[in-house]
Structure 1
Amino acid sequence: MGAMRARRPQGRHRRAEDQATYGEVIAIREFRALWYAQGLSLLGDQLAQVALAVLVYDRTRSPLATAAVYALTYLPSIVGGPLLAGLADRFARRGVMLTCDLVRAALVAAMAVPGMPFWALCGLVFLVVLLSAPFSAARAALLPEVLEGDRYVIGSALQNMTNQAVQMLGFAAGGALIATMGPYRALALDAATFLGSALILLSGVRRRPAASHDGAKPSMWTMTRAGARLVFGSRKLRTLVLFAWLAGFYILPEGIAVPYAARLADGALPVPVITGLLMAAMPTGTVVGAFLFSRFVAPPRRLRLMGWMAMLSCAPLIVTVLRPPLEVVLAAWVLSGIGGAYQLAANAAFVQYVPDERRAQAFGLVQSGLMAAQGIGILVGGFAAERLGPEPVVALAGVAGLTCAAVLAMIWTEPRERVPAAA
């Protein structure tokens, strides 16, 4: 459990502490395919997410209802992560990703049918997000096979920056696009992005056998229990998982961005535009933070800064208790996004301790908890915002997150010294 799994060398031999460059990572064809496919499908998802949030708030004027629909894009992973992520260890990972893309394209195409009942729309959203668990687990488990050493960190940073940039673009432009093209066309575009992702993966990622080579494959329940013992049986892994789940605090503001925008609207900008700006602020900060953290911080120092960066991801949110203007709120949320770059170090350290044949299950469990923490946090935030207003709720999330981050930073002080330098 604690020992690192030996990996096959790729290209010239590199020491774990050598710092990779973006150029050499982008030059790897399989990484480019994974990178392009994820960015393409994510762009369509952001348009659909903004459309659903604005639509629900326009109908209900309820922060709780808006947060509930937004949380619906997180909560299915509570089930999908533990039970379905193991499929990427039982079967070929590329095949799992292709199957998930094709099925999700069909489901989202059904969502784009005009006149679809709202309850059916919510059910389809649930299924689409449910299938994201095995897809994400397969992609996360495949990436260390494509990239090794610090290339993995740089590749993760590049994917993270791209994902956040796509979110920033999708959220910022989403309001304007929804106003012109309508929600159903946005959903049709989302379906097309899943098909595009499948084509890229089919042409750019080579076939590999399933990671588990046992003749008799264990049941999904058996794999889930084994994965839980692996992840939570180690102090190092437990701490890294809790660092990842800390995102539940600083993601909460996105779930109440629409009612927050309604509070900030002064007639100069419409609510959908302010909503897009708010939802784009943290992804913007994460792009900046991921670039600076991966490019200018040497591998051995990343883990030493992880606790401080985690605290930075939550502390700026506290300023919202003063009910500042839009400009200050955006600056605070951007700064919070910069702090969120600590996830790069936590993710890279985590992958060093999980063997290849258990990696997808382990990532699925962590992702499940992460999505659950975010979804539950958003639901609680929406419930509280109806009673207290969005500003104090965001500030309370910042205080709670800062406290948890400080405790985790102290817990991490001792085991960090034995974490591989590649993290």
Structure 2
Amino acid sequence: MGAMRARRPSGRHRRAEAQQVTYRQVIAIREFRALWYAQGFSLLGDQLAQVALAVLVYDRTGSPLATAAVYALTYLPSIVGGPLLAGLADRFARRGVMLACDLVRAVLVGAMAVPGVPFWALCALVFFVVLLSAPFSAARAALLPEVLEGDMYVIGSALQNMTNQAVQMLGFAAGGAAIATMGPYRALALDAATFLASALILISGVRRRPATDHAGAKPSMWAMTRAGAGLVFGSRKLRTLVLFAWLCGFYILPEGIAVPYAAKLYTGTLPIPVITGLLMAAMPTGTVVGAFLFSRFVAPPRRLRLMGWLAMLSCAPLIVTAVQPPLAVVLGAWFLSGVGGAYQLAANAAFVQSVPAERRAQAFGLVQSGLMAVQGIGILAGGFAAERLGPEPVVAAAGIMGLTCAAVLTMSWAEPRERMRATATA
């Protein structure tokens, strides 16, 4: 794929770029605040539910495999829901799609909060709750550019991404303490309430817009998937960037076996749910810190050079678990792994620059589905191995394999990186 020629910005674009948009200006927009708050409420409830489900399943089964399997269900439905249901946001009014998804998910999670629900029914409810996140996310992503224009959209997207990580960190950390106090069933009921809160915020803060008018025929899902695959995997640069993104399948694995790992670390001082929450919060905390430092103090050209090193950092600290260290060391290692995960900012920016604007939806849809697949498969494989070997060697093995893949990708990235620098300076 040839390099795209950079166009000289027009006078109006230069003036727009000169006017630096602040976070305060973006937050002052009422509709953005509504989308931001709704997303935060929903995500906070989801993190609480993930910890509650992990604790509930492990209490019922005592099986790391069953615990990881249910956790993997929070990733796998997006592989199906992404291509099949995301298009609902283009066929119906986007606010209406978001409201319907919130209300249905509130009912489904409320059913999960009923004590005595059979294990198979719990798994089915988890599957459908996560399945509905695809049209909700697609509708929100399509609505955001209508609410924010120009550089405001960039700043708003960055603010939402940072909020996602912070809420994930808070949800996992506070979730363990909350579940230790109220129990997993009440925590699931609280998650159902967050979906209702999200729906109320959307009704009051986002104005109604008509559905997009489709005059011509649209290509089939399979045609769009083939076109996206040809675009992404036909270019060495894009292929390498996608593999960098999918590397997270290795360093996300420890979250799926956090409960059995917490049971191994239990010494009688902290309850197992609290240890679980701390473990699950360590990586998101590191990601927030790493993303702030990486975006604030590292210049864009240098980010491309550091991307490979940070990718290796995202996996290397996990190897320390092979020596069965205490909780403080494990938390530190997982925190460092999260800091290394900040390389995804550079990979995402390079990917956006390299994909034609009119084909980004196809490319991002394919990458996102693969991202969910590698995370779900990695967690499931980790649970299967942890049931036989224990959690410590499994986490260490994921770190070794991830570090090896990251090193290979870093060497492969050297040539495309230099071409991007040459194009940018031409």
- What does residue 399 of structure 1 align with? 400
Aligned ranges for residues 327-346 of structure 1 at < 5 Å?
327-346=328-347
Deviation, structure 1 residue 125: 0.7
Moved more, 280-289 or 109-118: 109-118
- What does residue 420 of structure 2 align with? 418
Task: Give the partner amino acid of 2:323.
Answer: L
Residues 258, 395 of structure 1: CA spacing in aligned structure 2 closer, same or farther, 3 A cutoff?
same
Task: Give the partner amino acid of 1:254.
Answer: E
Residues 259, 357 of structure 1: CA spacing in aligned structure 2 closer, same or farther, 3 A cutoff?
same
The yes-or-no answer on 1:14 pairing with 2:7 is: no
Q: Distance in 1 between the 2:381 and 2:261 partners?
A: 15
Residues 223, 84 of structure 1: CA spacing in aligned structure 2 closer, same or farther, 3 A cutoff?
farther
- What does residue 119 of structure 2 align with? 118
Whether the 8 Å contact between 1:63 and 1:259 is mirrored in structure 2 is yes
Residues 88, 241 of structure 1: CA spacing in aligned structure 2 closer, same or farther, 3 A cutoff?
farther
* Secondary structure of the structure 1 residue equivalent to 2:268: coil
Q: Distance in 1 between the 2:182 and 2:97 partners?
A: 32
- What does residue 189 of structure 1 align with? 190
Q: Distance in 1 between the 2:219 and 2:80 partners?
A: 19
Q: Distance in 1 between the 2:360 and 2:270 partners?
A: 46
Deviation, structure 1 residue 39: 1.3
Question: Unpaired runs of 5+ in structure 2?
Answer: none
Task: Give the partner amino acid of 2:292.
Answer: F
Residues 368, 390 of structure 1: CA spacing in aligned structure 2 closer, same or farther, 3 A cutoff?
same
- What does residue 301 of structure 1 align with? 302
Aligned ranges for residues 236-247 of structure 1 at < 5 Å?
236-247=237-248
Aligned ranges for residues 120-139 of structure 1 at < 5 Å?
120-139=121-140
Q: Distance in 2 between the 1:347 and 1:145 partners?
A: 22
The yes-or-no answer on 1:382 pairing with 2:383 is: yes
Task: Give the partner amino acid of 1:383.
Answer: F
Q: Distance in 2 between the 1:394 and 1:152 partners?
A: 38
Provide the TM-score with structure 2 as the length reference.
0.87
Q: Distance in 2 between the 1:120 and 1:5 partners?
A: 54
Residues 5, 130 of structure 1: CA spacing in aligned structure 2 closer, same or farther, 3 A cutoff?
farther
Moved more, 258-267 or 407-416: 407-416
Question: Unpaired runs of 5+ in structure 1?
Answer: none
- What does residue 257 of structure 1 align with? 258
- What does residue 315 of structure 1 align with? 316
Deviations 1:86-110 (A, max 9, x none): 4445555544433332332232233
Q: Distance in 2 between the 1:124 and 1:275 partners?
A: 23
Residues 57, 216 of structure 1: CA spacing in aligned structure 2 closer, same or farther, 3 A cutoff?
same
Q: Distance in 2 between the 1:68 and 1:208 partners?
A: 39
Deviations 1:290-322 (A, max 9, x none): 111222223333233222211111111111112
Task: Give the partner amino acid of 2:196.
Answer: L
Larger radius of gyration: 2
Whether the 8 Å contact between 2:55 and 2:184 is mirrored in structure 1 is no
Residue correspondences, number: 419
Deviation, structure 1 residue 12: 5.2
* Secondary structure of the structure 1 residue equivalent to 2:219: coil
- What does residue 270 of structure 2 align with? 269
Provide the TM-score with structure 1 as the length reference.
0.87
Deviation, structure 1 residue 356: 5.6
Aligned ranges for residues 118-267 of structure 1 at < 5 Å?
118-143=119-144, 154-205=155-206, 213-267=214-268
Aligned ranges for residues 30-179 of structure 1 at < 5 Å?
30-89=31-90, 93-143=94-144, 154-179=155-180
Task: Give the partner amino acid of 1:75.
Answer: L
Q: Distance in 1 between the 2:348 and 2:371 partners?
A: 12
Whether the 8 Å contact between 2:303 and 2:346 is mirrored in structure 1 is yes
Residues 31, 347 of structure 1: CA spacing in aligned structure 2 closer, same or farther, 3 A cutoff?
farther
Deviations 1:362-406 (A, max 9, x none): 333222111111111111111111222211111111111111112
Deviation, structure 1 residue 65: 1.2
* Secondary structure of the structure 1 residue equivalent to 2:188: helix
- What does residue 348 of structure 2 align with? 347
Determine what percentage of the aligned residue pairs are the same residue: 85
Deviation, structure 1 residue 51: 1.0
Residues 239, 100 of structure 1: CA spacing in aligned structure 2 closer, same or farther, 3 A cutoff?
farther
Residues 10, 277 of structure 1: CA spacing in aligned structure 2 closer, same or farther, 3 A cutoff?
farther
Q: Which has the higher contact order (CA 8 A, sep 6+)?
A: 1
Cα RMSD of the aligned pairs, angstroms, is 3.2
Deviation, structure 1 residue 267: 1.3
Q: Distance in 2 between the 1:62 and 1:246 partners?
A: 27
Q: Distance in 2 between the 1:4 and 1:131 partners?
A: 40
Q: Distance in 1 between the 2:243 and 2:380 partners?
A: 20
Deviation, structure 1 residue 260: 0.9
Deviation, structure 1 residue 46: 1.2
Residues 363, 199 of structure 1: CA spacing in aligned structure 2 closer, same or farther, 3 A cutoff?
farther
- What does residue 279 of structure 1 align with? 280
Moved more, 312-321 or 174-183: 174-183
* Secondary structure of the structure 2 residue equivalent to 1:215: coil
Q: Distance in 2 between the 1:277 and 1:406 partners?
A: 29
* Secondary structure of the structure 2 residue equivalent to 1:414: helix
Deviation, structure 1 residue 414: 2.5
* Secondary structure of the structure 1 residue equivalent to 2:382: helix
